[in-house]
Structure 1
Amino acid sequence: MFEFSAGSPSLCLVDTVGNRGGADIERLATPQDFTRWLREASLLDPEGREALETDLVDARALRDALYRAALAIMNGKMPAPADIDGINALALGTPPRPQWVNSEVVHVSGDRVRAALALLAGDAVGTLADAQLGRVRLCPECRMMFVDKSPAGRRRWCSSASGCGNRAKVREHRARKSQEGSAT
């Protein structure tokens, strides 16, 4: 149900809306969905409290503000001040902090869900910098947002190996074969 291939935790959150630009598919419909997403993203351990409705509202607000802000930057525009203010406000929260426990480093916080939101918002700030560098992309197939971490900086699809990139390559291959067949 959840994808974690965006190259950034905050963009993985953005991608919890499927089929953007069409009939949006909301994958965070309930606080329980958000709790499950946090756990699958390794941002909330099993002992962490369940997300509340207010946490879900904040997560969706962060997700949508980052999507709009990154899209604006990708289109050569300035993000809306309200979107930046919303991201910055959540980034002011206290993310998990490292502690030395039984000879190893563990990350702890008073409220693990709020700490995860602060961590995601902090990551969103870095993601906007990636967008300014031209590294944030929108998959032309599924409309998922991702950070292009390829050495050449020319990644086009959310996933080349098994997802949209593979399907596009198969279509191109079939079209070439069809053209070759009709040319002979």
Structure 2
Amino acid sequence: MSGSPSLLTSNAPLFIADHGALDFVNTVAQVEGQPRDFWQSGEDVQHWLTHAGLATLPDRLPFPVCELLQEARRLREVIRRLVMQKKAGEAVDVTALNRYLAEARSYQQLVTDPQGGLRLERIYGTQTPVQVLEPVAALAASLMSDPHFELVRECEHPECTLWFYDRTKAHRRRWCSMALCGNRAKVARFRQQQK
């Protein structure tokens, strides 16, 4: 995204899609006309999962962290392909996503919050990269079966590849973010009017 604010030029993950599975997909974005993968290491994936609130990982994983990077990139492409197929009205092959769901090892646990209240929390396995990524796979499955899937949209800016879930009241959101593409569109319109 040429000329976009530092939001895309930093190494920080983008959380602008209003849906965790789409934020996961958006970890690849166009920056100055080139695809940029915000994940360059397994640690980047760990950081993203923690920041997204999708995983509490042990200090030491029982597998090489580079395997988490490979598996996260694989899952990201599975989700991207499913979203694109469904948006295009094509047949959706859920086999690959179901593989992640089938390998899940999770259970529910009653947890006391700091105020003394109780809440139910799902605890996920961390023995394999696929288990670590299961919360993302579950979000993706939820997204794919969402009865309002039409609210999943790709940013309308021609140079943008980011996706979002339109949670606005009128459901007229057009941009991944007003700070990124919405502002660029306004500036382009203003320049066009000045000519």
Q: TM-score normalised by the shorter chain: which range applies? A: 0.7 to 0.9
8 Å CA contact 1:74–1:132 kept in 2: the answer is no
Post-superposition Cα deviations, 1:45-103, rounded to whole Å, max 9, x if no partner, equal: 36454572332222111110111121122122223x3xx21111112343654422444
What is the identity, as a one-letter code, of the residue corresponding to 2:165?
V
Alpha-carbon deviation of 1:7?
1.4
CA shift in 2, pair 1:97/1:164, >3 Å: farther
Number of positions where the alignment pairs a residue of Structure 1 with one of Structure 2 = 173
148, 153, 156: which one pairs with 2:171?
153
Note the 1:1-184 alignment, pairs <5 A. 1-19=12-30, 23-45=34-56, 47=58, 49-50=60-61, 52-79=65-92, 81=93, 84-94=94-104, 97-102=107-112, 103=116, 104-105=118-119, 106-111=121-126, 114-130=130-146, 133-141=149-157, 142-160=160-178, 162-176=179-193, 178=194
8 Å CA contact 1:18–1:26 kept in 2: the answer is yes
8 Å CA contact 1:96–1:116 kept in 2: the answer is no
Post-superposition Cα deviations, 1:101-156, rounded to whole Å, max 9, x if no partner, equal: 44443543342865541111111112223497321111133210111122222211
Report the identity percentage: 28
CA shift in 2, pair 1:23/1:33, >3 Å: same
Structure 1: 5+ residue runs without aligned partners? Answer: 180-184
CA shift in 2, pair 1:139/1:175, >3 Å: same
Q: Distance in 2 between matches of 1:27 and 1:48?
A: 22
Which residue number corresponds to residue 7 of structure 2? none
Q: Distance in 1 between matches of 2:175 and 2:188?
A: 14
| 3-state SS of paired residue (1:57) | helix
8 Å CA contact 1:10–1:124 kept in 2: the answer is yes
8 Å CA contact 1:95–1:116 kept in 2: the answer is no
Structure 2: 5+ residue runs without aligned partners? Answer: 1-11
| 3-state SS of paired residue (2:110) | strand
Alpha-carbon deviation of 1:4?
0.8
| 3-state SS of paired residue (1:24) | strand
TM-score (norm 2): 0.75
Q: Provide the alpha-carbon RMSD of the alignment.
A: 2.7
| 3-state SS of paired residue (2:150) | coil
Which residue number corresponds to residue 182 of structure 1? none
- Where does structure 1 differ by over 6 angstroms across 4 or more consecutive aligned residues? none
